[in-house]
Structures are given as structure tokens and as C-alpha cells.
Amino acid sequence: ALETAAGRRALSKAYGLFAAALAFLVVVIALAAQLGLNETVIAFLVIAFALVTSAVIGVGARTLSLTEFYVAGRGVSAGFNGMATAAAFLSGGGLATIVGAFFAGTAAGLAVTAGWTIGFVLLAVLVAPYYRKSGAVTLPDFLAVRYGNPLLRVAGVVVLLVSSFALLPAAIAAASAIVRFFLHMRPDVSLAVVVATLLLSSLAGGMRAVTFVAGAQVILVLLAMVVPATLFSAESFALPLPQLTYGFALDANAGSDAIGLLAGRGAPLGDLSGVNLLALAATLALAVVSLPHVVARSGTATGMASARRSVAWALAIVAAVTVTAPAIAAFARSAILDNVVGVGLDELPVWFFAFGRAGLIETCGVAAASAADIGTTCGAGTVINGLDASQVAVSGEALVLGFADLVGLPYVGSAPIAAGLRAAALSTAGAGLGAVTAALGHDVYARMVNRRATAGRRLIVSRLALIAAVALAAAIAATAPGEAIAFAVYTPALAASGFFPPLILGLWWERTTWLGALAGMVAGFAFALFYILAERAGVPSGFAVAALVSLVGPRPSENRLAVLAAIRRPNRDPILEDHAA
């Protein structure tokens, strides 16, 4: 059990064994690769190990307890909760975003890094401990507790479903694409594998299972990001610290023409400068505080102090990724300049066309599917003289997913990267699925439809809702994967516009009324949804409307003020209760 020290020690040993087993598997496969082991077999062994592990952990964490299913029994220690929080945040698209940002330019990379860092600091200081103290199960549940009006729960459910569910098709599509690309599966088979893994790792145990699985997934993510860059750094510069050696790659690239970054994949990073960079950083910071599946992790901690420490642990894990991302971007840029730019079309590396056919690399605005296509679209001169840097554009996914190929590491280095990105995508999918399931089972069914429902019936409804959500998300991922990924890019702005004003004002301005909070939610969310690219205006409009309506209406009742005071107090308080039960 997570609640006991012995249980946490056992879990630590289990994660340690998992990391050791993974490392041992990679070493053995590397040795086998030297003897001629097929590349597809290599990828299958590593990815299958990760998939089976997630499924086994998820089934093993099954539970019949409502509190365990919704909030992991509120007994997750700070360290493990931090791992789960980081896993929920670091989706495959997020990893591609940070690397792509540094590839696009130092300013863009620093804007994303600053946004993530500030967001986690705000979450730790302003929200996490008080969310945990409230006993809420979901963000809509918290708003209902704070403001005492059911309309806040209804509005919160709408915002949550849009912002959290939108991540599911994108995450499933991304994980399916990774499995299909490396294992050469048919699209329907890879999609079925991903969906089956997601169901097995979440259906039986809910948030308890997602927590356990996330611990293993974040290990895969760290190995995928840190190990290949470290190996390349040691091989090229005789120092296994890519965070220090990537400066040599930057110096080598100085003065070279810029290689383009495909816009709209992972984050809108094209042509950002000045105010736009500030807006990007602010949006990401507010999104960290407002994303329902990230905030919900605070509710699984053992207490207020543990909730705050868990965010600090999450920030440490995210920092390990962000300090490595500039190195990956610099090494990848150097490799592309050396192996692609100015090289005859018949001498271009195999990976260039492989990622081109996948739509992850373009030349002259068209997917780089073959040398003939490049010659047709970019002109006959490229056949002999090669491509200019300005004619090449790559996606963040290609930089991360294909890093081992780009820099010339053995193929065995690509398989852990694929497993890590697949784990990142599914960890976010699992966390988002947990938020959606809790909202439908707890907020909609147990609080709106049938308040007298037994715990068993609520569990059944929650699991049926989970299956329905996965089925719908899988259908969208199968029919419109590009649209799903494109819309998911803007869900942070939607979550921030809908949740940040009533959340922050509700905690830190006593004068905020339920009507003001509701008006702010509707105004901010509607504005951001209507102008899906206008992240800069959604949050301010929500704050302005919430404050104005609160000021012109009657003051909050003494009962509502007592609830707010109880949420802020660090000690246990009888005015609050565990809302999962």
C-alpha cells in the first residue's frame, strides 16, 4: 500500500528493478545487434517490453475502492506523486515542443522553459496544497466546494471535458504512429495495440493504476531524452555531459543558414518574437496551473505539504528534460547540416526520406518522400548541388524520434527513444483519461444525476465512461489524426482561459462570488474557444469579467468565506471532507 513506508520502499525497489531490467535489455540487444539482429526485432523487443510492463502494472493495481480509483487513496508520497505529475505533463508532443523550440532559436526555447518553470512554481505555491486540503476529486469539484453553487460544477465539467478529452485522440494518434513507424505495422493494428495498452493500464485501477504506470513511464521518458544525447556527447567530445558540450556544436553551426521548423506541430513556434514569446511563456505557465489532469495529481498526495513537495519533484524531472533539450537540438542541427545540406540527392541518408514519407521532414514545402520528388519540387540544380538549408524544414518529432539516426548512433539507440516517446504520449493519455473519467463518474453521475448511487454503481459507471472515452478518442485518432493533434496544441490556452481566473481568484480574493467566477469562466473559455489562436486575451478577459461581476453583486456569504478559510488553513478541518467517497 502507498500509505505505508514499507509499501513505498517496495515500490522504490520495483521501479529500480524496472530501470535495471530495461538497461540490461538494451545492453543485451546492443550486443545482439552487433551479431546481426534485425532492426525490426530490436524495436519490437524494447517497445514490447515497455507496453507489456505498463499493462501488467495497470492490471496489478486494480481496485474496488472508490477513493483509490479516483484519487489513489490520497496516499501517494511526494516523490512518487512528482514522478506521476511529470509523466502526466511530459507528453510526446511536449518533448517535441521543447526540442523544436530550441531548434527554432534560443529565445523560443527559453520562452517554453520559462513558461514550464514558472507554471510549476505557481502550482506549488498558489494552488496544489489548497486543492489537496479541499478534498476535491476534480477541478469542477473544487469550484463547487469553494463557491457552493452547482452551476460552477457544470461549467467546470464542460471546460474539463473539452481541454482534457482533446488530448486523448492526439496522444493515441501519436503513440500509434510511433509503434507503426518502428514496427512497420498496419495503422489499424498499431492503433489496436495502443488502445489495448491504455485500457489495461487504467481500466481496473483508475488513478491508482495510472499512478503506478506513470512511475515506470517517466523512467522511460528520462532514458529516451538523456541517454542518447549523453552517448553522443561522450563519443564526439569525450565528455558524457551534453548540457556542457553542445556549445561546441553551436560554434560549429555559427554562421550557417537556418533550417526551418515545421510550424503547428507541438506548439505554434513559427515566427515568434517580442510580445509573442512573452505570450507563449505566459500561456504555458498558466496552463500548468490549470490543466485538470496536472492539478488532479495534487489531490492524490498525502497532505498539503506533500502536495507542494510533489510539484517540486515534478519540476526537477521536467528540468532534467529541459536542460537536455538544447543539446539534442544543437546536435541534430549539426548532423542535418553535415549530412543533408549541400549533399547530392543520391547521397542523402535513408532516414531523411523515411521521416519525409511520414510527413516529418519537408523540402521546398513538400514532404521529402524521394530524391525524384525533391528534384521536381526544388529544381534540377539540387540533384548535383544538393539542398540549401532554407529549403529544408523538420518537425520537432523528427528531431526527438530520429535523434539516434540523425547523429549516427547505432539503431539500438532508436528503440529506447521510441519506447520513451510512446510512454510519454500514453502517460498523458492516461492522466487525461483519469480526469475525464472522474468528471463523468463523480461530477456528472454522482453529483448531478444520482446522488444516492452506491460506491459500486459509481465504479461501474466510471469504468463504462472510461471505455466510452477511449473508444471515441480512438475513432477520432483513426479518422482525423492530424486534426486531433492540431486541436490539442491549443488545449493549454483553453484550460487556462476557463480555469485559471476562478481558481486563483477563488483562493486569493475573498470577494469573488460564485456568479463572478461563473461569468469569468464562461467569458474566458468562450473567448479562447472562439479565437482558438488568441491565447493572449482569453485569461485576461476571464479575470476582468470575474472581478467585475463579483464587485457589482452581493458579497460572498459567511459560509463561503468559512470554506475558503478552511481550505487555506494547513491543519485538518471538519468543514471539509473527502469528496471521493
Tens digit of each residue's pLDDT (9 = 90 or more) over 78-133: 988 999 999 888 876 788 888 988 888 888 888 889 999 999 999 999 999 999 99
**Which range among 210-224, 451-465, 539-553 has the greatest average pLDDT?**
451-465
Q: What is the pLDDT of residues 334-343, one digit of tens each?
A: 999 989 988 8
Task: Write out the DSSP string of 363-379.
Answer: ETTEE---HHHHHHHH-
How far apart are alpha carbons 180 and 359 in whole angstroms?
A: 14
Amino acid at 187: P
Arithmetic mean of pLDDT, 241-255: 85
Task: Say whether pLDDT at 255 is over 80.
Answer: no
CA 541 to chain centre: 26
Q: In a 3-state reduction of DSSP, which class is residue 465?
A: helix
Q: What is the pLDDT of residues 382-395, one digit of tens each?
A: 777 788 888 898 98
CB 419 within 8 A of CB 47: yes
How far apart are alpha carbons 229 and 395 in whole angstroms?
A: 18
Task: Say whether pLDDT at 568 is over 90.
Answer: no
Arithmetic mean of pLDDT, 486-503: 87
pLDDT band, very low/low/confident/very high, at 536 (cuts 50, 70, 90): very low
Q: Which residue has the higher pLDDT, 43 or 533?
A: 43
Q: What is the residue-averaged pLDDT of the chain?
A: 86
Q: Which residue has the higher pLDDT, 194 or 412?
A: 194
Q: For 574, which DSSP code?
A: T
Q: Measured between alpha carbons, how far is residue 433 from residues 26, 197, 201, 259 in Å?
A: 31, 13, 11, 37
Which has the closest alpha carbon to 374: 385, 363, 388, 389?
A: 363
Within 8 A by CB and 6+ apart from 573, the residues are 133, 566
Which has the closest alpha carbon to 147: 561, 576, 574?
A: 561
Which has the closest alpha carbon to 437: 132, 66, 70, 61?
A: 70
How far apart are alpha carbons 3 and 12 in whole angstroms?
A: 13
Helices 187-200 and 455-479, axial angle in degrees (round to 10): 160
pLDDT band, very low/low/confident/very high, at 531 (cuts 50, 70, 90): confident
Say what the pLDDT of residue 534 is: 47
How far apart are alpha carbons 294 and 432 in whole angstroms?
A: 9
Within 8 A by CB and 6+ apart from 11, the residues are 2, 80, 212, 215
In the chain, the percentage of residues whose pLDDT exceeds 70 is 94
Helices 167-183 and 187-200, axial angle in degrees (round to 10): 120
Q: What is the pLDDT of residues 134-190, one digit of tens each?
A: 999 999 999 999 999 999 999 999 999 998 898 899 899 988 988 888 888 889 999
Task: Say whether pLDDT at 8 is over 70.
Answer: no
Arithmetic mean of pLDDT, 362-381: 85
The answer to which of 89-103, 213-227, 514-528, 530-544 has the lowest mean pLDDT is 530-544
How far apart are alpha carbons 201 and 470 in whole angstroms?
A: 12
Arithmetic mean of pLDDT, 22-49: 81
Backbone φ and ψ for 236, nearest 5 degrees, come out as -90, -30
CB 85 within 8 A of CB 297: yes
Say what the pLDDT of residue 7 is: 64
**Which range among 45-49, 105-109, 413-417, 499-503 has the greatest average pLDDT?**
499-503
Which has the closest alpha carbon to 407: 263, 234, 257?
A: 234
Task: Say whether pLDDT at 489 is over 90.
Answer: no
Task: Say whether pLDDT at 474 is over 90.
Answer: yes
Say what the pLDDT of residue 374 is: 86
Give the helix/strand (H/E) hosting 30.
Answer: helix 5-34
Q: In a 3-state reduction of DSSP, which class is residue 318?
A: helix
Task: Say whether pLDDT at 554 is over 90.
Answer: no
Task: Say whether pLDDT at 6 is over 90.
Answer: no
Task: Say whether pLDDT at 2 is over 70.
Answer: no
Say what the pLDDT of residue 577 is: 64
**Straight-line distance from the first to the last Cα atom of the chain, in angstroms, rounded to the nearest whole number:** 19
Say what the pLDDT of residue 581 is: 63
Q: What is the pLDDT of residues 176-192, one digit of tens each?
A: 988 888 888 889 999 99
Number of H helices, E strands in the chain: 29, 4
Backbone φ and ψ for 323, nearest 5 degrees, come out as -80, -15
How far apart are alpha carbons 296 and 49 in whole angstroms?
A: 29
How far apart are alpha carbons 288 and 24 in whole angstroms?
A: 35
